[in-house]
Structure 1
Amino acid sequence: MKKFFEFVVAFGGVIALFFGAHTYLMGELEDLVKEKLQPYQKLLIAQTMYNEDVAIRAYEYALTGLEKQEVEGDLIAAVVNPFLEAISNSDMPYMYEHHTNRLSKLVGVKFPLDYDNARSLGWIYLYTDKNDKAQEYFNKSISLYKQAGLLENASDAYRGLQFSFLASGNLIEAINANEKMWSINYDEYYNPQATVWLDHNNISWMKQLYKLYPDMEKNYLGLISYLNVVYELSPKIKSKPIDTMLVEKILAGDYSLNKVINSDS
């Protein structure tokens, strides 16, 4: 009976040890899974953020976690590309110069330079008083768009190049970049009329550039003058009261106004 009792005690100890080890291992496994998943969770959170500064902190956490896991370059690129874009869209990119330095060392080493991260670097360097590097990366972005057969998507890179040339006082090259910008994407805010109508004095990022580059505002006004003269652009239209008599004519089927417009065109 004594031996049987000792056997039961020993067996119970083994069972307790087994369950204890199982609980410990499950806890360790849970922590491991949590640690592995957290960078991806932060990446998903960052991509839903409208506040660039909050997104930047989430991208930093995600990148640090993925680097610890020594993941492949494609996964690193999935964080670095939107990370750079968030910095370029920030109101204060100079505050993130340490991040820019870190990310630029990964581009071309962990994964190839592409048109998106080159364009983002161009804007970041333009905003941080590194105009020579800005021109370099805007040109690289445009070249990579061409190589990929996606030049129709390069408008923003040409726009950045335009501002870069305005900052350096090269009005002819700025006009050239402007014309290439709207020739491939006229329908958005890139066309000459939109450039002339742009209320640049009330746009925070443009005011920031004017402070960095003292002659840039004068050069931008020169660009507007050139576009106005060459393309005979109309001034910005103002709102007018609804012409109810004209509406009534149209509702009655009188489309003669369309004939006048078509004959003028």
Structure 2
Amino acid sequence: MVASTSVKLNTGADMPTVGLGTWKSAPGAVEHAVEFALKNGYKHVDTAAAYRNEKEVGAGIAASGVPRESIFLTTKLDNPDQKEAEEALNSSLKNLGTSYLNLWLMHWPAPMTKGEPPLADKTHDWLDTWKSMEKLYKAHPDKLKAIGVSNFSVKFLERLLAVAEVVPAVNQIEMHPSCPSEDVLEFCRSKGIVVTAYSPLGSDNSPLLTNEVVVKLAEKPTSLASPSSPKSVTNSRILSNAVIIDLTDDEIKELHKIDETHHFRACHPSWTGWGSLGFPDCE
């Protein structure tokens, strides 16, 4: 598989295939990570309102000195904000210190309440959230360059596409050798939706980090060729995560075999209170 540094979205825009992920980045660390990454060649930063670090991400972008137009910036609509999409969008823009987003994603097809703890909000349909996002996208091309979804299984994508006026540009899902999500990948390819992988090595303390196949390939060094957003706040890892080298067909086959005996999911959909959301092995 020949890797590339960017992928074209259905909007016509180019999205860098490697982005700096910021999930679980500790307060005080993410600002430096974003600044360092951008100063050292990264062009894509991925965050979310739910991460509670948009202000620090924005500060890191500003501190980097890299022109905003050279950065592909992604954030996500939080589950408790699905009834108030426009307010949430404006809040994210303010926190990030930017006038526009390159990509705005619905974080989960799972509306939730604003209480503590947040609970599944059965009074709201996430399809109405998508309609609100479509409306904002059409009305404010200066604020939104593309919209998409995250954590959507095939059954949710089918329901969305049955009524959508705007086909999502991206579906960001957990995808790694122990959770390859091949059904989602193939479906999205058939619909012109780019799949972005989060937790491409299984997140913190992942067994993949000591898997003999992964370790062997890492020593080349190599990296997965799909669009991905690996998270790190360590300078050396930020640099190594950006290395893109082709994988042979045989190496890809070796990675695919891992799932046959070591399947796991780092981000379990059941936490939302909406059941499995159509993903396997989540009940």
| Band of TM-score, shorter chain | under 0.3
**Larger RCO (CA within 8 A; separation ≥ 6):** 2
The structure having more radius of gyration, on CA atoms, is: 1
* Greater share of residues in helix: 1
